[in-house]
Amino acid sequence: MYYQPTSVEEIKEVLALARQQNKRVKVVGGGHSPSDIACTDGFMIHMGKMNRVLQVDTEKKQVTVEAGILLADLHPQLDKHGLALSNLGAVSDVTAAGVIGSGTHNTGIKHGILATQVVALTLLTADGTILECSESSNAEVFQAARVHLGCLGVILTITLQCVPQFHLQETSFPSTLKEVLDNLDSHLKKSEYFRFLWFPHSENVSIIYQDHTNKPPSSSANWFWDYAIGFYLLEFLLWISTFLPGLVGWINRFFFWLLFTGKKENSNLSHKIFSYECRFKQHVQDWAIPREKTKEALLELKAMLEANPKVVAHYPVEVRFTRGDDILLSPCFQRDSCYMNIIMYRPYGKDVPRLDYWLAYETIMKKVGGRPHWAKAHNCTRKDFEKMYPAFPKFCAIREKLDPTGMFLNVYLEKVFY
């Protein structure tokens, strides 16, 4: 059964019906996650109609929103009040509750995952109780619920800490893998939101700096290069490479030469620079590893590809950095982290063999102490999570107390908790 409630009372009715019929319940957000985290054979609640901005406190620079609001709809509302979120992921067609619940992140070693911007939330539990959660009220639940995996209850409202509205300048320029890994600390200090793209089967790297600016908006976007070449030609060549896999290394090097060898600059409002279009259908893995393991892990991934010429990897491997936090199931729990995102495109929807690449990558990530992104594909089970997360037993105890009958579980979450 599929529900689109418009009020808390309607959600309570759905939960009462679920208790009566012994059904499970899953709340779904923007549907962006490529994992099965929101799937269910029971009741599905879509929060799309509970999407209002409830309060803007310009003095504290805080905004309280209903859980179903899309970030894309929140940005213009914050613009009106001269406010912004200090960090955002690449996609804004996602709900506020979904973004925090899956541990969504961006980059910037001074910045945590997006859930670290949450200062309060309200949670409706399986028995119909509403909990107000913050550092000072239900603090343990708050520590768990900021990355909630949809398994603690229904998030109703979220209060986010904002900052004054700001503009960003994005500068991208070419480099090499050796240069960026040898000078990682220097790059991290130089730019507030630093990330880089490595092109597998080559030494090529594109470095991206994003920093506060007073410059007026400007763009180096160009339909011919961004779409005709960067999308249509690339998709066609990737499709050909499904018959001739040896072409992939050449494609990666060719497109670096075509699109990434010059310096590019763009400036705009922060949310317009943070967000970008994911044009392709794709399979993605994204693990957080201890920041000091960045060089070791990337060089091992590169060596694995060189030793196994039949394993091909599409560009880019995107490398981002995030500050540690104290959220129980945050992949950055108690450590500054490097996220290493690998990708395999599906040209014209066609699946590309990726399992050898996936397995080799996961093996390296586990070896260096990695933790997978909750919204992306992975093969981990409870045994893995017990090793990865020092606070895993604490989260489990909170979950079992809030949802003793497992109303908010599904097949994905049973692998996590059982």
Tell me the average pLDDT across 14-31: 89
CATH number assigned to the domain with residue range 167-372, chosen from the 4 options 3.40.50.300, 3.40.640.10, 3.40.50.720, 3.40.462.10: 3.40.462.10
Torsion region of 77: left, alpha or beta (phi above 0 gives left; psi -120 to 50 gives alpha) = alpha
Band (366; pLDDT cuts 50, 70, 90): very high
CATH 3.30.465.10: which residues of the chain?
2-164+383-417
Q: Is the pLDDT of residue 385 over 80?
A: yes
- The model's pLDDT over 277-326, given as tens digits with 9 standing for 90+, comes to 777 788 999 999 999 999 999 999 999 999 999 999 999 999 999 999 99
DSSP 342-400: EEEE-GGG-----HHHHHHHHHHHHHTT-EE-TTS-----HHHHHHH-TTHHHHHHHHH
Pairing of strands 43-46, 2-3: parallel
Give the model's confidence band at 390: pLDDT under 50 very low, under 70 low, under 90 confident, else very high.
very high
Specify the pLDDT at position 93. Answer: 87
Mean predicted confidence (pLDDT) in 339-364: 95
Is omega for the bond preceding 316 within 30 degrees of 0, making it cis?
A: yes
- Tell me what the pLDDT averaged over the chain comes to: 94
- Phi, psi dihedrals of residue 76, rounded to the nearest 5°: -65, -30
Sole residue written with tokens 């909750």: 374
| Local structure of 403: helix, strand or coil | coil
**Any idea how long the chain is?**
418
Q: Report the C-alpha gap between 158 and 123 in whole angstroms.
A: 9
List Cβ neighbours of 34 (8 Å cut-off, separation of 6 or more). Answer: 283, 284, 375, 376, 377
At a CB cut-off of 8 Å and minimum separation 6, what does 367 contact?
300
Q: In the predicted model, what is the mean pLDDT of residues 183-199?
A: 98
- Write out pLDDT tens, residues 126-158: 999 999 999 999 999 999 999 999 999 999 999
Q: Which of 19-33, 152-166, 391-405 has the lowest mean pLDDT?
A: 19-33
pLDDT of residue 375: 87
pLDDT at 80 over 80: yes
Residue 351 in this model has a pLDDT that exceeds 80: yes
Beta-bridge partner residues of 283? 344
CATH class of the region 2-164+383-417: alpha beta
pLDDT over 80 (residue 215): yes
Exposure class string for 366-386: b at 16+ Cβ within 10 A, else e: bebbbbbbbbbbbebeeebbe
Mean pLDDT of 115-128: 97
pLDDT band at 34 (very low <50, low <70, confident <90, very high): low
Average pLDDT over residues 404-411: 93
Look at residue 353 and tell me whether its pLDDT is greater than 70: yes
Taking Cα atoms as reference points, which of 46, 48, 43, 50 lies closest to residue 16? 43
Residue ranges of the alpha helices (H) in 245-293? Answer: 247-259, 270-274
Mean pLDDT of 327-333: 98
Reply yes or no on whether the pLDDT at 71 is more than 90. Answer: yes
Residue 117 confidence (pLDDT) above 80: yes
Instruction: Tokens 């392709």: give the residue.
Output: 280
Per-residue pLDDT, 389: 97
pLDDT tens profile 216-230: 999 988 888 888 988
| pLDDT reading at 32 higher than 90 | no
Helical (H) or strand (E) element with 72: helix 71-80
Q: Read off the DSSP letter of residue 309.
A: T
> Residue 35: what pLDDT?
65
Domain with CATH 3.40.462.10 in the chain: 167-372
Q: What is the band of 363 on the pLDDT scale with cuts at 50, 70, 90?
A: very high
Separation of alpha carbons 384 and 416, rounded Å: 9
Q: Is the pLDDT of residue 36 over 80?
A: no
Q: Would the pLDDT of 55 be above 70?
A: yes
Residues near 73 by beta carbon (within 8 Å), at least 6 away in sequence: 51
- Residue 37's pLDDT is 72
pTM attached to this predicted model = 0.95
